[in-house]
Amino acid sequence: MLAMLELDARDHLTELPEGFDSYLEGEFSKHGQKWEGCTHLYFLVCSRSQWYAVEVDIAKSTMLIYDLDRSCSKDDQIRADLKPMTTIIPMLLKKVNIVIDALAIERITTTSKQSNS
C-alpha cells in the first residue's frame, strides 16, 4: 500500500492515487465488507525485503506488527520503516468516517518463528 501512495520528503501524504476513493468505498472488491463496525484491519507490508503481517486494532489505536523472522530486523528499524503507516492509515480511515488520532506501533514476537528464509 505504501508504494501506491505519494509521499513527500518528510513522509507526508501528498495525494491519493486516482480511483483510490472508490477502493475505500468498497466498489472494487466483490468480497469487501462495509466499513461500519470495522474493528480491525489486516494487511502485509514488505520493507527492506522483509515481510510483516500487520493488524490495526482500531479501538486501541495500535498497529501490531507480526514478524515471523525476528533475526532480520531490530525493533527500531521496524518502527522507522513502518512509521509512515501511522500517518497514512488514520488518514485513509478518516475518508470512511473512522477517526484515529494516532497509531502506536507494537511488535509481536510471541508468534511461531519462521524456520526457513
pLDDT band of residue 2 (cuts 50, 70, 90) is very low
**Which CB contacts under 8 angstroms, 24+ apart, belong to 79-85?**
79/105, 79/107, 81/47, 81/48, 82/45, 82/47, 82/52, 82/54, 83/11, 84/2, 84/7, 84/11, 85/1, 85/2, 85/45, 85/54
Per-residue pLDDT, 64: 92
**CA end-to-end distance (rounded Å), the chain:** 23
Which grid cell sits at 15? 495525494
What are the structural domains of the chain? Answer: 2-108 (3.30.310)
CA 114 to chain centre: 21
Instruction: Write out pLDDT tens, residues 6-41.
Output: 444 555 555 666 666 666 666 655 556 677 788 999
Instruction: Write out pLDDT tens, residues 27-83.
Output: 655 556 677 788 999 888 887 777 888 999 999 999 999 877 666 667 788 888 888
pTM of the model: 0.67
Instruction: Write out pLDDT tens, residues 84-114.
Output: 888 888 888 888 888 988 899 988 877 666 5
